[in-house]
Amino acid sequence: MFFKNILFVLLSGALFLSSCTLQTPEITKSGLSTNDKMLFSRFMALGDNIVAGYQNAALTEKHQKYSFVALMARQGATPDFKQPLLAYPGLGSESYGGYGTLELRYLDNPNTPHTINPDPIVYAVPFSDYPDFDPENMPYVSTDIMNYPFPYNNLGIPGIFVDDVYKAKSKLKSRSHSGLIDVVLRNAGNPYGEMSPFAQAKLFQPSLLVCWVGMYDVLGYAQFSGGGQSFSEPTSDEDFATYYAALMDSLKSTRAAVVAGNIPDILDMPYFNIVPHVVIDTVTNTPYLDANQQPIPLIGVHDGDKLLMPARLAMKRDGDGIPAGVLNGSGDPIPEDMVLDADEISMVENAIGNYNTIIDSVCSQRKIPVVDMYSFFKQLQSGIEVAGQTFTDSYLSGGFYSLDGIHPTDLGNALIANQWLEMVNSKFRVSIPGVDIPALMSELQPLMAGTISAQ
């Protein structure tokens, strides 16, 4: 059903949007010049997790509407900016087990009233709590979204690799095998043939193309290097260079204004930093001390290692890493797939550095501006002050990272949007206003209040 009018519209020389009802942008901007409006008239986005609006380990309409590209579209008054909006509780990394997005149930576990450090309870929302949600056949918020007859403006797909942007046709016809490729591309039954994300974007004849991809080429390895999945190593530098150059050449061929972004240092993210290397007392949520009043090291963890966020649950639930006879200790080491050792950390660091060198070189040769997301994310270590609030890389309290410890919150997406808008304004001689952070805070306040259970 979708795409059925595309060839007719192209052959008739009419605008895509002339065959559908235009919706008023959520925030109407006054004072935009003709050039501003033209640049954002056919705004399209390509990329992976953050572009898609992935947050709290899932893709769901609740947060997709605050993806940084959706916020950019608001500011540029893009007509009818479409995204593959998914119904609650969405699809994500927990979906194979029957779960959707993560939610914060308690800021401090009510079952441990004597905690010194807060012990937040984060849970994955089960599909069974939402019987009307059909993750297999109808995950979208409406049939109108599912059957939208044109490509979505936001073609970001969580969990894809750089070459998937111009090669992937389906989950099976991709290198990453991301389960969300089919949801975003909707190629099944398309009478005009299977199309990659880039092919769909090109068909739309974009005026502005944002492309931020490459993070998952290394993040997939860092998260799942020992987890039995096909992430034995990050995408090789040679392959990344080949794929990225081919992708940028493809984007340039559209004659759209193109903006790219480099890759943050994923090892700074809370997902890799919030689990300590010592046994934690389940009563106080502080280090458990031995007879000599010294913290007890976890089994299977060495100095310099990084524990992944799931290790916290393995310790609490199974006693992994805790010596036998201490609390609930099993005497077994922390599972290898929950630890990044020195060699794996070095591989990740080298990949990020080399990928960013490649991105800078490829884009410089093609005169494509690059938004320095690596440096921007680094600023979170010391804090980014906006509208009287300081955003940091701290988990929960920092305001930037969502519950999954990797992807930004709605406000984090707003900060990212403003970085990209600054680049667009400086390179393409437009004056798109940045996202009004205080106004967005007010808009989000009811949503944030509703995510935490009463204690």
pLDDT attached to residue 114: 86
Q: pLDDT tens string for the chain (455 positions)? A: 444 443 323 223 322 222 232 232 333 345 899 999 999 999 999 999 999 999 999 999 999 999 999 999 999 999 999 999 999 999 999 999 999 999 999 999 998 888 899 999 999 999 999 999 999 999 999 999 999 999 999 999 999 999 999 999 999 999 999 999 999 999 987 766 899 999 999 999 999 999 999 999 999 999 986 444 457 899 999 999 999 999 999 999 999 999 999 999 999 999 999 999 999 998 999 999 999 999 999 999 999 999 999 999 999 999 999 999 999 999 999 999 999 999 999 999 999 999 999 999 999 999 999 999 999 999 999 999 998 899 999 999 999 999 999 999 999 999 999 999 999 999 999 999 999 999 999 999 876 655 544 33
* Closest listed residue to residue 44, CA positions, set 89, 7, 80, 87: 80
* Statement: the pTM of the whole predicted model exceeds 0.85: yes
pLDDT reported for residue 451: 53
Q: What is the pLDDT of residue 130?
A: 97
- Those residues whose C-beta lies under 8 Å from the C-beta of residue 228, and which sit 6 or more positions away, are 337
Q: What is residue 146's predicted lDDT score, i.e. its pLDDT?
A: 96
pLDDT of residue 1: 44
Q: What is the pLDDT of residue 449?
A: 53
> Per-domain residue ranges for the chain?
31-449
Token pair for residue 126?
């089960």
CA torsion, ordered 421, 424, 426, 432, to nearest 10 deg: -50
* Integer Cα distance of 368 and 258 in angstroms: 6
Task: Give which of 42, 33, 26 is closest to 432, Cα–Cα.
Answer: 33
Looking at residue 30, its pLDDT comes to: 54
Q: Give which of 256, 48, 43, 3 is closest to 165, Cα–Cα.
A: 48
Distances (CA, A) of 434 to 128, 143, 156, 431, 437: 40, 33, 22, 9, 9
Strands (E) across 107-219 are located at 121-126, 208-212
C-alpha to C-alpha distance for 86 and 88, rounded to whole angstroms: 7
Residue 396: count of CB within 10 angstroms of its CB: 17
Domain range 31-449, CATH architecture: 3-Layer(aba) Sandwich (3.40)
